[in-house]
Amino acid sequence: MSLYGMMRTGVSGMNAQANRLSTVADNIANSDTTGYKRSSAEFSTLVMPSTGGAYNSGGVTTTIRQAVSDPGVLQYTTSVSDLAVSGDGFFVVQDPSGTPYLTRAGAFVPDGQGRLVNSAGFQLMAYSYDNGVPAATVNGFEGLVPVVISDQGMTATPSTEGSYAGNLPAGATPVAAANLPTTNAVGAQYTSKSSMVAYDNLGNKKLLDVYFTNTGAGTWQVAVFDQSQATPGTAFPYTGGALGSANLTFDTTTGKLTGAVDSVGLTVPNGAAFTLDLSALTQLGAGFTVSDAQVNGNAPSTIDKVQISKDGTIYAQYKDGSTKPLYKIPLADVQSPDQLTALPGNVYSQGTESGAVRVGFANEGKLGSIISGALENSNVDIAEELTNMIAAQRSYTANSKVFQTGSDLMDVLVNLKR
């Protein structure tokens, strides 16, 4: 019985080393595959019951492990759609049938329909901004859609918010209530005036006149008018009156806003409801200055280029220089990444021992950041693999000698009766 066991043990040893060589072959073949995670064969003993007078050899068995949690070195490229994860997390992709998977292979390029696909044909998934700021579905892939970036049509976005940052002159001469711009009367008076561009629903530019008028110590009135409705050659009266107005109160000691009101609400003509944020205004002993003015929205334009931030937001930059968020790329993770089930195409699915998939956004919790213009190299070390290959070859040869010796002894045993 021990001779049979000896031969069986030799076979198990050869099988184990063959598995080890198989992982080495795969690792070397995929050493240049983006996002590939090396495999390794781990050995464990098989013990057979023995008696006091005889020893029954068992053998060895192998378990294949993948170093999924071991990151590869980032290699920077010139393509914005090349993506890498710096830290923990996986991109969510789907195959043509719509089945979701996880991957670290982020070499995405647009296909004929504008969808971002990697070299294995998997489509990048993200949350769309069409219904507002996205929120991640923590325990599933619901709500994710394929990222589609197409410049075939023109888009226009109405302005909904803007901001002013600057200084109003302290000590300005107050204007009487009867002469304030909001009266919209001929000869109305004001302290300072500025203008800003906003966009209506069709992307037409609307020039808004913004009047800042001192009404007393630390108090100001802000009034916004549609410049196209002004009286030619003068200003007041404007047809239809002010689009919106507000009263501001400043601390005369610090020059900062102290009142509850820090914005003006209005509706852009033929546009959307618009809020002008004035919280960055000050009242100091200097002249009227506007240090910054921002308005969202854009005129009709096609996408000029795409930008992707570290939090995974995909922005479209139009030819007029304006930007608009289109998608937000999530990251998925599991409790034990090394226990994920590896599938063809360098993708992974949830395994029985990996834990449930959790979805979130980059830089949240333990999730890493998303790097645009970079790819993650495989984590294969060629020198280590060649060393493993030589060691496996020698071990395979040694196990074959054990089997051959057992076979020779079996021949001796069989020939005893002759």
The model's pLDDT over 382-391, given as tens digits with 9 standing for 90+, comes to 999 999 999 9
pTM (two decimals): 0.69
In the prediction, which pLDDT does 196 show? 94
From the CA atom positions of the chain, what is the Rg in Å? Answer: 35
414 class by beta-carbon count within 10 Å (0-12 exposed, 13-18 middle, 19+ buried)? exposed
The model's pLDDT over 316-331, given as tens digits with 9 standing for 90+, comes to 887 777 788 899 999 9
The CB-side HSE value for 93 (13 A sphere, CA atoms) comes to 29
| Residues 185/236, Cβ–Cβ less than 8 Å | yes
Domain coordinates in residue numbering, the chain:
2-67+379-415, 74-151+307-376, 156-300
| Residues 127/145, Cβ–Cβ less than 8 Å | yes
- pLDDT tens-place values along the chain, 418 residues long: 577 778 888 888 999 999 999 999 999 999 999 999 999 999 988 877 776 667 777 788 898 999 999 999 999 999 999 999 999 999 999 999 999 999 999 999 998 888 999 989 999 999 999 888 899 888 889 999 999 987 656 778 899 999 999 999 998 999 999 999 999 999 899 999 999 999 999 989 999 999 999 999 999 999 999 999 999 888 899 998 999 999 999 999 999 999 889 999 999 999 999 999 999 999 999 999 999 999 988 888 778 888 999 999 999 887 777 788 899 999 999 999 999 999 999 999 998 889 999 999 999 989 999 999 999 999 999 999 999 999 999 999 998 998 888 888 888 877 886 6
Close Cβ partners of 219 (under 8 Å, ≥ 6 residues apart) = 247, 248, 249, 250
In the prediction, which pLDDT does 384 show? 94
Residue type at position 31: S
In the prediction, which pLDDT does 276 show? 96
SS (H, E, C) the chain: CHHHHHHHHHHHHHHHHHHHHHHHHHHHHCCCCCCCCCEEEEEEEECCCCECCECCCCEEEEEEEECCCCCCCEEECCCCCEEEEECECEEEEECCCCCEEEECCCECEECCCCEEECCCCCEEEEEECCCCCCCCCCCCCCCCEECECCCCCCEEECCCEEEEEEEEECCCCCCCHHHCHHHCCCCCCCCEEEEEEEECCCCCEEEEEEEEEEEECCEEEEEEEEHHHCCCCCCCCCCCCCCEEEEEEECCCCCEECCCCCEEEEECCCCCEEEEECCCCEEECCCCEEEEEEECCEEEECEEEEEECCCCEEEEEECCCCEEEEEECEEEECCCHHHCEEECCCEEECCCCCCCCEEEECCCCCECEEEECEEECCCCCHHHHHHHHHHHHHHHHHHHHHHHHHHHHHHHHHHCCC
2 class by beta-carbon count within 10 Å (0-12 exposed, 13-18 middle, 19+ buried)? middle
Ramachandran class of 6: left when φ > 0, alpha when ψ lies in -120 to 50, beta otherwise = alpha
Distance (Å, whole) CA 297 – CA 40: 53
Q: Which of 103, 150, 139 is nearest to 124 (CA)?
A: 103
CATH superfamily of 156-300: Flagellar hook protein FlgE (2.60.98.20)
The model's pLDDT over 101-144, given as tens digits with 9 standing for 90+, comes to 999 999 999 988 889 999 899 999 999 998 888 998 888 899 99
